Structures are given as structure tokens and as C-alpha cells.
Amino acid sequence: MTQVAKDAGLSRESLYRALSEDGNPSFATVLKVARAIGLRLHARPA
């Protein structure tokens, strides 16, 4: 988590808070975390 937070440009504490059961991360945070762990999100027509 420490490295993911660092790669995402977030503090470790804020990352834990955003991803907790009661967390409500912004879409920007989700994208930062996805990028930090080597994922890309794509949208395509249903």
C-alpha cells in the first residue's frame, strides 16, 4: 500500500481511507490507483 500510495501521489492514510468500507473515493483517485498498479480502464459501448 505504501508504494501504491506513493506511485499514485497520495498519502498512505488517505489511500486507506478512500478504499475503506466506508470510503467514497473520487473517480480521479480510482484512476490514480489503477495507473499505479499497472491497470488501464477503458469505456466501450454497451
State residue 38's pLDDT score.
97
Per-residue model confidence (pLDDT) at position 34: 96
How far, in Å, CA of 6 to CA of 1, rounded? 8
Per-residue pLDDT in tens (0 to 9) along the chain, 46 residues: 999 999 999 999 999 999 999 999 999 999 999 999 999 999 999 9
Q: What pLDDT, on the 0 to 100 scale, is given for residue 32?
A: 95
Locate cell 501521489: which residue? 9
H/E stretch holding 18 reads helix 12-19
22 vs 17: CA distance, rounded Å:
8
> Where are the chain's structural domains?
2-36
| Element holding 4 (H helix, E strand) | helix 2-8
